[in-house]
C-alpha cells in the first residue's frame, strides 16, 4: 500500500459491506458501491447505484401506524457481470460465485489518485486449471453520466471458451439497512428493457411516486478477438447480453462494459433513455475513458489535496476522496444538499441534516462554487421553511431537521431500537438549531469568498428569515429579565424531553440559544451594512418591518444561557439530572456509544441522566474561535473566561458516550486549544470512525460524510486557527506533537493554489502569481501583506 492506495486482501463475507462502502466510486452526480460484479444483493453483498437528489416517497405500516418515508433510491444495477467456463465438448460449468468457489489471492485495490477500483483473483477449475481474473472499474469524473468496467480473463494451460453475461438489473429494492426491513422498499416502477445495435442493452423505469424517469444503456464488447457468439436477451426487468469468448494461453479474453445513466431531472435532455443511448454510443473505449477520467481527477486533486505525513495522511486523503466523490464540481449544476451518508448507502434514507456545517467550511476554500450550489439547495426550500414556521405559529423560516427532495420535514415519526425491538417516538424534528447552521454556512461562505452579491440577495433572505424565526420564538421571562427558547432538542440528541414530562422538548439549550443570538447579531450587521436600496428592496420582498430589528437587538443581548456549578448547562435543568454510573455500564457492555438504546432496552431512559451522545455545549468551541465566543457571551452579559470554558470542557468530557461520528471531530478541535495532550486521541478516533467502523456496522450503510469532511477541516482550520474574517486570512496555530508538519493548498478570493505549510514552529505561505490584490495575513502578534508571486516564511509565536 502507498499513500494513494488502499488494499483489501482476501475474501471475508462478514466484511464485504464495509469494504463496499469504502470502495464506492462516484463523481458527484452518481455513485456505485464497490460490490463484486457477479453478485446480486443479499445478506453478504449489496451492489447499489445512487443518483444525487433522486428520492421517492412510500407509505408503510409500522407498529400499527401508517407512516410515510422518503428515501434516496437504489437504481437498477448496471454493474452485474458474471461468467462461467465452457468445455471443449460443449459442457457448461456453473456461474462463478465467491460464496461458492473460494477465490484465491483475492485483492481489491482502491487507487485514490486515479479513482479506480481494481480486483484481482484466481481459482482452479478442474480440467481448465488456473483462471486469473482482473477487473477495473471507474465512475467517470469528466463525464458524470458514464461508468465502465473492464474484465480480463487469463489462463496458463487451457484453451476453451468463457461465457460472460452482462446485465442491467431492474429487479432491485432498497435493502441496505436491516433496521428498515419492515418498511416498503420497492421504489421502481414501469421497468422496461430492450436492445440497440448489436452490442447495447437498455433499461427504462421511473420512481413510483416522485415519477423521476431513469434511462440506462450498457454497451458490452469483446476486445481483441471477436466473440464466438453474442446474444442480447431483454426480459421483463433485466436486460442481459451474453457473449461467448475464446481463451487460450497467451491470448486472454477481454470484455469492456460501458454504461450511461440519465434521469428526467437532468438539464438539456428531452428523454433520459434517448440521452443514455446517445451517450453510450458516442463513448470511446475503456482506455480512452480511463485517460480522460484520470486527467479530470488530476485537475481536482490540484485544487483540494492535503499533505499530512504517515497513516493520518493516508486516512485524510481517503476522506477527501469520498467527499469529492459526493460533492464534486458537477454538484454545482445540481439541486442537491449534503447527504449525511454520502452516495454510499441508505442509512438516514439519504437525507440532508446539518452535516453541511462540517462540510462547507472545507469546500469554501477549495470548491466555492459547490458551496454556493449547496446553499442554493437551502434557498430554493426557503418558501417551504417559511410555510413550516407559519404552520407552527411562528414567523420567519423553520428549516427541517431532515430534508430531501422538496424541503418538507422528513424526520421519521418512529424509530426502531434494535436492542429492544421496540418502535419509539422520534422527536429529532425539534432540532431547530439546523436553521442556525444554515445561517452560519451562508456567513462563512461569503466571508471566505467575498461574494457580496450572494450575501445581499439569497444569503440575506435566508439569514434574515432565520433570525426572524428565533426572535419570534423567544419568550421574555419577566422574573429573569431574559428571553427563553422552549421546546427544542439540542445537538446531543439523547435528551428530547424532561423526565416524566408529558410533552417533548427542552428549554434553553445553550447551543441553540447562543447560536440564535449569533444569527440575530449577524442579521443586524447585514441589514445595517447593506446599501439602502438593497435593504429596502429586500425588506419589501420578505415583508420585513424595520421595527422588528429593535426586538432582534434586544433578544440577541438577553437570551438566557443557563449555568450550574460554574459550567455552562447543556439546557435548563441539566444539572438536576441524575449521575450515571459510567464505570458500571462500561463493564457491563462492550460499547456504550449508543447509551440511549441500552437504557431503553433496560426499561430506563437517558433523559434521566447527565449523559450526552456527542458534543452539545462544546459545539460552540467548534464553531467560534475563543475570541469570537468570548464576544458572544459578553454580548449576552456573561464573562466567559478561560477557566470557565476549561471547566465546561472537562465536565462534558466525563459525561459523553461519543455515539456519533462527529463527536471525535468536535472534541479534537476543542481540546487542541484546551488540553493538547488529549487532542490527538480524539483526532485518531475521528480518523478511524469509518475505516475501522468504530460505530459497529454502520459504515456498511454509508460513510459518515460530515465526520470525513470534519477531519479535513480540523487540519485546515482547527489546528491552524484559520479564519476568513474582515477581508483577511487569520491564523493562530496550535502545536500538536503528533502532527509536527503538515500543509495544504486553498483558494482564497481570487487566489487559486495558496500554499500553507506549518513545520518546526514556522508558517510558510505562498501566493501564486496573478493580477489579484495582495493577501492580508493576520497572526496573533503581527499583520503582514503578501503579494501575488511571493512566498513568506514566518516564525510562529510561542504559546
CA gap 197, 608 in Å, rounded: 67
Concerning whether 726 is annotated as a catalytic residue, the answer is no
Alpha carbon distance, N-terminus to C-terminus of the chain = 38
- Please report the DSSP string for 556-603 in residue order: HHHB---EETTEE-SSTTGGGSBPP-HHHHHHH-S--TTHHHHHHHTT
Sheet containing 5-9: give its strands across.
5-9, 104-111, 116-124, 130-139, 146-155, 253-263, 213-223, 200-207, 188-196
368 contacts 747 by C-beta, under 8 angstroms:
yes
> Helix, strand, or coil here: 604?
coil
> Helix, strand, or coil here: 114?
coil
Which one from 163, 256, 410, 493 is the annotated catalytic residue? 493
172 contacts 76 by C-beta, under 8 angstroms:
yes
Residues 6+ apart with CB under 8 A from 7: 1, 107, 108, 109, 110
19 contacts 6 by C-beta, under 8 angstroms:
no
Burial 484-494 (b: 16+ CB within 10 A, else e): bbeebbbbbbb
CA gap 86, 253 in Å, rounded: 13
Give the up-direction half-sphere exposure of residue 187: CA atoms within 13 A in the CB hemisphere: 28
CA gap 199, 277 in Å, rounded: 12
- Please report the DSSP string for 117-155 in residue order: EEEEEEEE-GGG-EEEEEEEEEE-SSSTTEEEEEEEEEE
C-alpha cell at 146: 458514464
CA gap 733, 744 in Å, rounded: 14
C-alpha angle 73-75-76 in degrees, rounded to nearest 5: 155
Quote the distance between the C-alpha of residue 748 and its chain's center: 23
CA gap 48, 558 in Å, rounded: 51
Positions marked active-site: 493
Amino acid at each position: 500500500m502507498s499513500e494513494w492506495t488502499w488494499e483489501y486482501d482476501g475474501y471475508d463475507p462478514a466484511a464485504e459491506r464495509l469494504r463496499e462502502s469504502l470502495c464506492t466510486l462516484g463523481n458527484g452526480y452518481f455513485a456505485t458501491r464497490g460490490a463484486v460484479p457477479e453478485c446480486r444483493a443479499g445478506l453478504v453483498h449489496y451492489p447499489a447505484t445512487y443518483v444525487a437528489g433522486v428520492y421517492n416517497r412510500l407509505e408503510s405500516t409500522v407498529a400499527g401506524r401508517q407512516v410515510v418515508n422518503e428515501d434516496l433510491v437504489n437504481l437498477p444495477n448496471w454493474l452485474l457481470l458474471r461468467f462461467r467456463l465452457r468445455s471443449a465438448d460443449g459442457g457448461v460449468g456453473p456461474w462463478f460465485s465467491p460464496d461458492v468457489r473460494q477465490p484465491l489471492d483475492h485483492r481489491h485495490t482502491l487507487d485514490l489518485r486515479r479513482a479506480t477500483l481494481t480486483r484481482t483473483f484466481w481459482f482452479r477449475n478442474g480440467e481448465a486449471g488456473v483462471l486469473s481474473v482482473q477487473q477495473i472499474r471507474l465512475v467517470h469524473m469528466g463525464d458524470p453520466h458514464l461508468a465502465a468496467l473492464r474484465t480480463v480473463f487469463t489462463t496458463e494451460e487451457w484453451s476453451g471458451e468463457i461465457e460472460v453475461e452482462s446485465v442491467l438489473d431492474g429487479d432491485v429494492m432498497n435493502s441496505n439497512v436491516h433496521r428498515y426491513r419492515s418498511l416498503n422498499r420497492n421504489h421502481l416502477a414501469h421497468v422496461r428493457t430492450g436492445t440497440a445495435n448489436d452490442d447495447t442493452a437498455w433499461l427504462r423505469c421511473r420512481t413510483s411516486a416522485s415519477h423521476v424517469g431513469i434511462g440506462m444503456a450498457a454497451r458490452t464488447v469483446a476486445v481483441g478477438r471477436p466473440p464466438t457468439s453474442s446474444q442480447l436477451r431483454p426480459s421483463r426487468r433485466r436486460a442481459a447480453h451474453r457473449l461467448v469468448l475464446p481463451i487460450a494461453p497467451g491470448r486472454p479474453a477481454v470484455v469492456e462494459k460501458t454504461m450511461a445513466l440519465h434521469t428526467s431531472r437532468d438539464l438539456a435532455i428531452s428523454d433520459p433513455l434517448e440521452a443514455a443511448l446517445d451517450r453510450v454510443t458516442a463513448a470511446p473505449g475503456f482506455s480512452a475513458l480511463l485517460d480522460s477520467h484520470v486527467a479530470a481527477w488530476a485537475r481536482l486533486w490540484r485544487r483540494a489535496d492535503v499533505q499530512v505525513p504517515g497513516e493520518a495522511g493516508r486516512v485524510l486523503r481517503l476522506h477527501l476522496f469520498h467527499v469529492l466523490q459526493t460533492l464534486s464540481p458537477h454538484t454545482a449544476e445540481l439541486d442537491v444538499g449534503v447527504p449525511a451518508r454520502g452516495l454510499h448507502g441508505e442509512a438516514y434514507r439519504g437525507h440532508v441534516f446539518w452535516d453541511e456545517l462540517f462540510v462547507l467550511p472545507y469546500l469554501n476554500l477549495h470548491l466555492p462554487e459547490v458551496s454556493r450550489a449547496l446553499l442554493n439547495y437551502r434557498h430554493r426550500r426557503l418558501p417551504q421553511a417559511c410555510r413550516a414556521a407559519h404552520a407552527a405559529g411562528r414567523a420567519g423560516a423553520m428549516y427541517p431537521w431532515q430534508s430531501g427532495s422538496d424541503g418538507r420535514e422528513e424526520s421519521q415519526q418512529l424509530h426502531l431500537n434494535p436492542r429492544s425491538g421496540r418502535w419509539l417516538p422520534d422527536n429529532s424534528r425539534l432540532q431547530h438549531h439546523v436553521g442556525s447552521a444554515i445561517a452560519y454556512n451562508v456567513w462563512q461562505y461569503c466571508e471566505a469568498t467575498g461574494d457580496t452579491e450572494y450575501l445581499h440577495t439569497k444569503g440575506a433572505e435566508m439569514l434574515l428569515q432565520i433570525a426572524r424565526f428565533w426572535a419570534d420564538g423567544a419568550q421574555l421571562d419577566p422574573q429573569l429579565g431574559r428571553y427563553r427558547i422552549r421546546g427544542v432538542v439540542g445537538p446531543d440528541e439523547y435528551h428530547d424531553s424532561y423526565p416524566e414530562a408529558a410533552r417533548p422538548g427542552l428549554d434553553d439549550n445553550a447551543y441553540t440559544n447562543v447560536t440564535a443570538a449569533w444569527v440575530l447579531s449577524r442579521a443586524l450587521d447585514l441589514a445595517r451594512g447593506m446599501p439602502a436600496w438593497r435593504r429596502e428592496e429586500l425588506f419589501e420582498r420578505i415583508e420585513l418591518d424595520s421595527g422588528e430589528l429593535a426586538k432582534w437587538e434586544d433578544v440577541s443581548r438577553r437570551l438566557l444561557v443557563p449555568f450550574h456549578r460554574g459550567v455552562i448547562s447543556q439546557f435548563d435543568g441539566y444539572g438536576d439530572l441524575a449521575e450515571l454510573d459510567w464505570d458500571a455500564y462500561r463493564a457491563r457492555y462492550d460499547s456504550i456509544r449508543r447509551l440511549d438504546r441500552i437504557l431503553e432496552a433496560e426499561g430506563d431512559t437517558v433523559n434521566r441522566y447527565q449523559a450526552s451522545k456527542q458534543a452539545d455545549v462544546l459545539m460552540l468551541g467548534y464553531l467560534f474561535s475563543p475570541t469570537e465566543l468570548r464576544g458572544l457571551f459578553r454580548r449576552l452579559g456573561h464573562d466567559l473566561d478561560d477557566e470557565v470554558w476549561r471547566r465546561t470542557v472537562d465536565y462534558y468530557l466525563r459525561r459523553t458516550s461519543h455515539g456519533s461520528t462527529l463527536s471525535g471531530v468536535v472534541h479534537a478541535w476543542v481540546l487542541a486549544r484546551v488540553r493538547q495532550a488529549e487532542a490527538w486521541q480524539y483526532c485518531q478516533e475521528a480518523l478511524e470512525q469509518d475505516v475501522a467502523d468504530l460505530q459497529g456496522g454502520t459504515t456498511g450503510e454509508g460513510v459518515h460524510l460530515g465526520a470525513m469532511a470534519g477531519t479535513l477541516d480540523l487540519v485546515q482550520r482547527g489546528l491552524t486557527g484559520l479564519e476568513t474574517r474582515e477581508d483577511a486570512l487569520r491564523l493562530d496555530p496550535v502545536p500538536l506533537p503528533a502532527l509536527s508538519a503538515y500543509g495544504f493548498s486553498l483558494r482564497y478570493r481570487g487566489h487559486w493554489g495558496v500554499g500553507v505549510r506549518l513545520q518546526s514552529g514556522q508558517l510558510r505561505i505562498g501566493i501564486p502569481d496573478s493580477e489579484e490584490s495582495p493577501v492580508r495575513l493576520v497572526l496573533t502578534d503581527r499583520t503582514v501583506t503578501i503579494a501575488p508571486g511571493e512566498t513568506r516564511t514566518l516564525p510562529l509565536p510561542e504559546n
